[in-house]
Amino acid sequence: MSLHGVALVDKPIGMSSFAVVSRMRRAFRDLGISKAGHTGTLDPLASGLLPICLGEATKFAQRLLDADKGYLATIQFGSATTTGDAEGEVTARSECAVSASMVAAALRRFLGRTLQRPPAFSALKIAGRPAYQYARDGVAIELPLREIEIHELQLRAFDVEHQRAEIEVACSKGTYIRSLAVDIAAAVDAVGHLCALRRTRTAGFRVEDAHPLDMWTSANEEQRGSWLLPTDSLLSDLPAVVLDGVRASDLRNGKVVALPADHAGDATELVRAYDAREVSAAFVGLARMISRTELRAERLLSTA
């Protein structure tokens, strides 16, 4: 098995992202993998897609941290909580009856670029401390508004009796679905909170292709190897450049190399670099075009 790659985990409810990473690190430890990291936190309340970068793949994890995400979220109307989700204490109630048409109309107001205020119970740092520590201490701090972008927002189902709406969201990084749930409730003159959340997409990865955490930890080495995605799958949106042996070696040694004649692109463009000498043109790493004819290493796999 390769000692680096991406494991698509379907995270269970009730477990932190850090705990999932720890269990995956232990599962792969016998194979010599000591480094592991997730590509975007999911709260314990949430389930769904959590890509875990293993070994050398951790060098490229930032690409998924910056990527768009997709979610299925359930909003409970009629009660607000301290945390904006079902884990908090109820702070307010509203008696108005919300309808599916009211929610559908409100959702359209949140599409596109907008400003969002992160929840008080978040990991954002204020003077070196996470915001949730201030909130737990009873210190009221209003976090500044941040720009986000909602690409898609659709009502999937509405439960009139229980006053719950299931929505599908496609959004930019940094979007807090808890805050979105609270804001949608306010848009229909009610209060509400997020009562369920499932991540369905991260960049080009889908939850349908993930395996539950227990399957990863109980599988044998051969099974885990067949499920592990190659490191370059993190960069699949970038163009590929296949280098001959001399150019590939020079790139690994930090030299600026000439692009193959059949490749042309914009200066500063990032590309996936491959070594033509190796089987199936092995992935070398991430490189940047510094001109239309020259390439320089940006981040490479270790040759050790």
- Which of the residues are catalytic? 43
The span from the CA of 131 to the CA of 122, in Å, is 6
The per-residue DSSP string of 236-293 comes to: TTS-EEEE-HHHHHHHHTT--EEPPTT----TT-EEEEEETTSTT-EEEEEEEESSSS
Single out the residue of 2, 38, 4 nearest to residue 213, CA to CA.
Answer: 38
- 229 DSSP 8-state letter: B
Within 8 A by CB and 6+ apart from 246, the residues are none
- CA dist list (Å): 253 to 124, 246, 278, 296, 297: 38, 11, 17, 10, 9
- Phi, psi for residue 195 in degrees, rounded to 5: -110, -10
Burial category of 18 from C-beta neighbours within 10 Å (exposed 0-12, middle 13-18, buried 19 and up) = exposed
Within 8 A by CB and 6+ apart from 282, the residues are 274, 275
- CA dist list (Å): 13 to 20, 46, 49, 250: 11, 5, 12, 47
Residue 51: enclosing H or E segment and its boundaries? Answer: strand 47-54
Q: Is 177 helix (H, G, I), strand (E, B) or coil?
A: helix
Structure tokens at 81: 């909580």
Q: Is 131 helix (H, G, I), strand (E, B) or coil?
A: helix
